[in-house]
């Protein structure tokens, strides 16, 4: 009963932009795709019924570091794995925890073996390594597993970035070795999940690092390809570098990634960033912006961003976005949404989050359609022009 953990077929191209279908054991995902972030096993302020129904999110992201600390690997394992624990039957990608550990700063110590740190929850000492990350992600049962990496800041020097990249390459090989051991063990044990497939059929993605240094990024990619992964990600961007630097890295690295494997840009970004990255050959995205900004009163629209706290919206009877057909825009006015936010009603964050997710997911649908119809270049220019005008208007 041996099957590939995923298949990826490119069905249309327009320049470097690609439209395809990513098939996992739990469902098909049309690409380019935006993955809502469910760090703790929940996409904040959003019910799964909405994600599955109106929003039709085909895949979500969860985080190894946070779920490892709370509720813990054994709890999730005893509850039947992450899918059963949270009640989500569609694909899940789990981040490795590398970025979260890196972001702890002075609270962590990185060595060849892994990372020692103190839990942000209770201060207890913890140790996360490539092997531990693979073991945790195996217990979670995610469909796509990320290799454990070390992230250098965007402005890292050549030497610091090289040290980080080389450590990531060694950790990638250790991640791959332990991942394969766990997959073989699961298959030998004949463990089954709720969909009838072997638990061992997970996919593993490698992560390209190297900060803003293109030579290091290329070397990082070469070393990952030599190991062999089911997909490849660009990590360590949107961590303080200028946006132009980020675009330059994507433009150089994405087309060099294996053409028959999905390409994933981690933790980026605004709708404009997503469209720009698609034009450079990227297939998969995740970002906390739609949920985080929704909770703080900011809405993304087809004509740029709206800060619902502005007094100009106090009696504005228009929807957030007159071009949007989500249930929030069909039912509620800007005035009402501002009222909810200003009075601290939790429904305000819920509604803005729902709309923002609809905006991101609809943007990706329109991107896919434009690639398939051969009109992506025009779509991109019109999309970026509209958003540039909104920035000028403020």
| Residues in the chain, total | 394
Collapsed DSSP state (helix, strand, coil) of residue 135: helix
User: How many Å apart are CA 51 and CA 57, to the nearest integer?
Assistant: 5
End-to-end CA distance of the chain: 57
| H-helix or E-strand spanning residue 35 | strand 33-36
Residues contacting 155, CB < 8 A, separation 6+? 211, 212, 240, 241
User: How many Å apart are CA 167 and CA 149, to the nearest integer?
Assistant: 8
pLDDT at res. 392? 41
Q: Which domains does the chain have, with CATH numbers?
A: 6-287 (3.20.20.105), 294-393 (no CATH)
Percentage of the chain lying above the pLDDT 70 cut: 93
pLDDT at res. 239? 84
Residues contacting 199, CB < 8 A, separation 6+? 81, 138, 141, 186, 191, 192, 193
Beta strand residue intervals within 150-297, DSSP E = 203-208, 231-234, 263-265, 284-287
pLDDT at res. 250? 98
pLDDT tens per residue, range 290-337: 999 999 999 999 999 999 999 999 999 999 999 999 999 999 999 999
pLDDT at res. 190? 64
Residues contacting 287, CB < 8 A, separation 6+? 34, 37, 267, 268, 269, 270, 360
User: How many Å apart are CA 211 and CA 113, to the nearest integer?
Assistant: 22
pLDDT at res. 48? 98
User: How many Å apart are CA 93 and CA 56, to the nearest integer?
Assistant: 16
Which residues of the chain fall below pLDDT 50? Answer: 1, 192, 194-200, 392-394
**What's CA 192's distance to the chain center, in Å?**
27
Task: Give the residue from 354, 353, 355, 351 showing the smallest Cα distance to 340.
Answer: 351
pLDDT at res. 3? 61
Give 232: exposed, middle or buried? Use CB within 10 Å, 0-12, 13-18, 19+. buried
Task: Give the residue from 232, 210, 129, 131 showing the smallest Cα distance to 166.
Answer: 210
pLDDT at res. 154? 77
Task: Give the residue from 203, 239, 221 showing the smallest Cα distance to 26.
Answer: 203
Residue whose pair of structure tokens reads 């932009």 in the numeric block: 17
pLDDT tens per residue, range 364-392: 999 999 999 999 999 999 998 888 766 54
pLDDT at res. 170? 98
Residue whose pair of structure tokens reads 């900011």 in the numeric block: 298
The answer to whether the beta carbons of residues 371 and 386 sit under 8 Å apart is no
Task: Give the residue from 356, 382, 353, 385 showing the smallest Cα distance to 367.
Answer: 382
Question: Where in the sequence numbering do the catalytic residues fall?
Answer: 95, 286
pLDDT tens per residue, range 130-155: 999 999 999 999 999 999 999 888 78
Backbone angle region of 150, left / alpha / beta, with phi > 0 → left and psi within -120 to 50 → alpha: beta
User: How many Å apart are CA 124 and CA 105, to the nearest integer?
Assistant: 16
Task: Give the residue from 131, 119, 138, 237 showing the smallest Cα distance to 177.
Answer: 131
User: How many Å apart are CA 362 and CA 367, to the nearest integer?
Assistant: 8
User: How many Å apart are CA 358 and CA 375, to the nearest integer?
Assistant: 22
Residue whose pair of structure tokens reads 């019109």 in the numeric block: 382
Task: Give the residue from 170, 244, 249 showing the smallest Cα distance to 215.
Answer: 249
pLDDT at res. 160? 94
User: How many Å apart are CA 20 and CA 22, to the nearest integer?
Assistant: 7
Give 303: exposed, middle or buried? Use CB within 10 Å, 0-12, 13-18, 19+. middle
């Amino acid at each position: 009963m041996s099957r590939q953990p995923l298949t990826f077929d490119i069905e249309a191209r327009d320049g470097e932009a690609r439209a395809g279908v990513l098939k996992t054991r739990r469902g098909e995902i049309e690409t380019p795709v935006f993955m809502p972030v469910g760090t703790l096993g929940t996409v904040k302020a959003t019910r799964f019924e909405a994600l599955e129904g109106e929003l039709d999110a085909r895949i979500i992201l969860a985080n190894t570091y946070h779920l490892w600390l709370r509720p813990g690997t054994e709890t999730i394992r005893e509850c039947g794995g992450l899918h059963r624990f949270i009640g989500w039957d569609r694909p899940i990608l789990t981040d490795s925890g590398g970025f979260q550990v890196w972001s702890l700063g002075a609270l962590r110590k990185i060595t060849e073996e892994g990372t020692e740190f103190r839990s942000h929850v209770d201060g207890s000492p913890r140790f996360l390594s490539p092997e531990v990350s693979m073991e945790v992600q195996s217990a979670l049962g995610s469909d796509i597993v990320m290799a454990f990496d070390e992230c250098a800041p965007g402005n890292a020097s050549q030497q610091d970035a090289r040290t980080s990249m080389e450590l990531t390459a060694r950790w990638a090989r250790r991640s791959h070795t332990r991942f394969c051991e766990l997959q073989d063990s699961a298959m030998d044990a004949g463990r089954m999940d709720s969909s009838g497939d072997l638990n061992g059929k997970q996919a593993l993605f490698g992560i390209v690092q190297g900060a803003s240094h293109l030579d290091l990024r290329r070397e990082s990619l070469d070393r990952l390809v030599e190991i062999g992964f089911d997909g490849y990600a660009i990590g360590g961007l949107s961590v303080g570098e200028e946006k132009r630097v980020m675009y330059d890295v994507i433009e150089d690295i994405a087309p060099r990634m294996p053409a028959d494997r999905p390409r994933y840009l981690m933790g980026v970004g605004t709708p404009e960033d997503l469209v720009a990255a698609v034009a450079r050959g990227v297939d998969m995205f995740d970002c906390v912006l739609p949920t985080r900004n929704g909770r703080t009163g900011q809405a993304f629209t087809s004509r740029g961003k709206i800060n619902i706290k502005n007094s100009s919206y106090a009696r504005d009877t228009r929807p957030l976005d007159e071009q949007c057909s989500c249930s929030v825009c069909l039912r509620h006015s800007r005035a009402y949404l501002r009222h909810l936010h200003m009075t601290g009603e939790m429904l305000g964050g819920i509604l803005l989050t729902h709309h923002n997710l609809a905006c991101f997911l609809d943007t990706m649908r329109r991107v896919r359609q434009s690639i398939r119809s051969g009109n992506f270049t025009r779509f991109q220019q019109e999309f970026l022009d509209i958003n540039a005008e909104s920035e000028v208007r403020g």
